[in-house]
Structures are given as structure tokens and as C-alpha cells.
Structure 1
Amino acid sequence: MQPPLIVILNGPNLNLLGTRQPHLYGSATLDDVEALCVDTAEEFGLAVDFRQTNAEGELVTWVQECRGRARGIIINPAGYTTTSIALLDALLASDLPVIEVHITNIHRREEFRQHSYVSKAATGVIAGLGVEGYALAMRAMAGIIAEGRA
């Protein structure tokens, strides 16, 4: 029997983690985040498909592919948080639980970063806890699945 699949999607510029504004985003790389997610998934008997793209259309396609394949989506939409209605529509159409993750607390940043279209599709939002937010999202998703909400 296959373990439940959680798809973890990362938006633009997250491939630069560890080097881009480390005073905001820390020194962990995207590879470090993936390892954290895989380790956390193993604790809960989950499988992970971890991806990053700088292309909005590719991110939307990946969300669409989750339908019927995954049990949940964890997403750090990065710059598409505040701009992508297409991403919102894809997440709503997925009929899956969605946890939105932000490394920084977007509510303490510039005003334009404080509005999230993605939040309208999210079961929950984790912001401001650094890359540990991904592990917390994995734990939360495991609970959602265990409770039969996914």
C-alpha cells in the first residue's frame, strides 16, 4: 500500500534560499527544506513530491495534477501569493486540503505582501516561523489526513 502523497510546491525565487536576503529568509537552502519535509513525512508515514518553479503556469499545472493523485498540498506561493487568481482557482478546483506556508511573517512586511489570494483556498496558513513552518505544515497535514478530512 502506498503512503499518502503530499505535494509541496514552491513558487518564484525560492530556489535562491540560503543566498537571497538571508537576514529575512535565513541560511537554509531549498535542498535543506526538502530534506526537512522528507524527514517529517517519514515520521508520519507520508510520501512527498517536492517541487519549485519560477513559472506561474507550471505551478498551476502542478496543482491541477494533484487532483486524484495527492491527499494534500502544501504551498509557498512566494510572489504569486499576492497576484495569482489563476493559482487560487487551481487550488480551489483541486478539492484537496491546502496549507499555505511563508517563511517570513507577511503581515509584518510591506503592505502589498499582506494580501493573499491563496489564503482563500487554504485550510490553514503558517507564516513567520522560518523554514520550520514547512515541518509544521507536514504535521498539520498528517493530522488532517488522520482525521479523514482529506
Structure 2
Amino acid sequence: MPPRFSRAGSRFRGELWQFSAFITAASSLADEQDTEPRAIILLEPVEERATAPVMIKRPLIVVLNGPNLNMLGMRQPEVYGRATLDDVEQICIQAAERLDVGIDFRQTNGEGELVSWVHECRNRAQGIVINPAAYGHTSIALLDALLAVELPVIEVHISNIHRREDFRHHTYCSRAAAGVICGLGVRGYALALQAMTDMILDENDR
């Protein structure tokens, strides 16, 4: 499926006031007696001028989803819930607007495409939130890609992988992740975006 984007910018405008100060001093030569100088302060408003828009670049967080997540809402609802992938995207968009960050939300069933999308993040994103789904348990290539881009990563799983089959307990991607959120349903995406935003802001403050 084609990637979906959500971006925005910010504009600021202000009012300009010009202050003019005129200092005049008068002296009287009469009777050779000086008078005290007088200071006149004039506040001169200037007509509001339109200023050029200032575009503030917001951090971009890429949200990647792996195989079978396009089947959310239909596949094992007792495990993954009734929310669809479109619902998850809306949750992420709303969280991004609240956090004032941009997101790029994508899903693929192909391992190679997922790896390529991770590579794209290197020069355009500030962080990655990824639900690798089954590839988390199997893909060393995906792990290598996440390590290669040198970006903060948070891994998300809708179900609690540690309460499921033994082969799901291990995830390669966690070796590249700053943190892993699992078992909290689709709300885990919003929590991951909040945590990722905090990490980006902390890094920018250094």
C-alpha cells in the first residue's frame, strides 16, 4: 500500500511598535541662570506590518507496521482487538497533532520493503516507532537496518508477546530499541509517540 503522510508547520506573526525618544534641553542665558534639561518621551505607534511567515520544522516520526497488520479488526480479535489499521492511523495522527510532531504512517507485508523504509528514515526522520509484527521474531535484516540508521527506535506490539507462544517471546528488534511497549492494545502507539517525542526533545536540549 502507498505510504501515508501527515505533516504540518507553524506560523507566527507579531505587532511592531516603534519607540522614539527625543531629549531636548533648554537653557536660559537670562541672568546667567541655567534651567533644568527637559526629557520628552514619545511613544509612536507604527502601522501593523505583514511579516513573512516563519516556518518551524516539526520533528518527523515514522510509524512502520509489519506483516498482517492490515488485517487488524478481522484477524484474531480476541488477541488484537477490533480496531482496524485505519483506526490506528487516526490514533497516531491525533497524538501527533497533540504533540506537535509530524508522522509518516506506513504498513507493508514485505520484509524487504520494510527494511528499505527504515533506510529512508536516516536522512529525513528524527525517530522510528515500529510494530514489526512477526518480523520482529525472525528478521535479522530488519534489526541490522534499525541499527544502521542510528535513530531512536521504540518497538510496539499490540498483544503481550510474553504471554503467548514461546517463539514470540524473543524479538530481534528490541536490541535496537530504546524501549518496547506491548500488551496495551492500539493505545500503545500513542504512548510510543509520546515517549519518542520526549526523547527527541531531550536530545535537542543537549
TM-score normalised by length of structure 2: 0.72
- From 66, 84, 88, the counterpart of 2:139: 84
SS at match of 2:171: coil
Which of the two has higher C-alpha Rg? 2
SS at match of 1:75: strand
SS at match of 1:148: helix
Q: Within 2, Cα distance between the matches of 1:135 and 1:94?
A: 23
Q: For the structure 1 residues 74 and 149, does the alpha-carbon distance in structure 2 shift closer, same or farther, using more than 3 Å as the test?
A: farther
User: How many residues of Structure 1 are paired with residues of Structure 2 in the alignment?
Assistant: 150
| 1:53 positional shift | 0.2
SS at match of 2:144: helix
Identify unmatched segments of 5+ residues in structure 1.
none
Q: What does the per-residue CA deviation read over 1:44-90, in whole Å, with 9 as the maximum and x for residues that have no partner?
A: 11001000000000000000000010000000000101100000000
Answering whether residue 77 of structure 2 is matched by residue 7 of structure 1, we say no
Between structures 1 and 2, the one with greater strand share: 2
SS at match of 2:181: strand
Identify unmatched segments of 5+ residues in structure 2.
1-55
- From 179, 194, 198, the counterpart of 1:124: 179
Q: Within 2, Cα distance between the matches of 1:146 and 1:4?
A: 9
Amino acid at match of 2:134: G
Q: Within 2, Cα distance between the matches of 1:149 and 1:101?
A: 24
Q: Within 2, Cα distance between the matches of 1:50 and 1:144?
A: 19
Q: For the structure 1 residues 149 and 100, does the alpha-carbon distance in structure 2 shift closer, same or farther, using more than 3 Å as the test?
A: farther
Q: What does the per-residue CA deviation read over 1:83-111, in whole Å, with 9 as the maximum and x for residues that have no partner?
A: 00000000001110000000000000000
Instruction: Tell me which residue corresponds to 2:91.
Output: 36
| 1:2 positional shift | 2.1
SS at match of 1:88: helix
Q: For the structure 1 residues 12 and 149, does the alpha-carbon distance in structure 2 shift closer, same or farther, using more than 3 Å as the test?
A: farther
Q: Within 1, Cα distance between the matches of 2:204 and 2:146?
A: 16
- From 118, 128, 131, the counterpart of 1:73: 128
Identical-residue share of aligned pairs (%): 67
| 1:149 positional shift | 6.5
Amino acid at match of 2:164: R
Instruction: Tell me which residue corresponds to 2:113.
Output: 58
Q: Within 1, Cα distance between the matches of 2:111 and 2:177?
A: 18
Q: Which has the higher contact order (CA 8 A, sep 6+)?
A: 1
Instruction: Tell me which residue corresponds to 2:150.
Output: 95
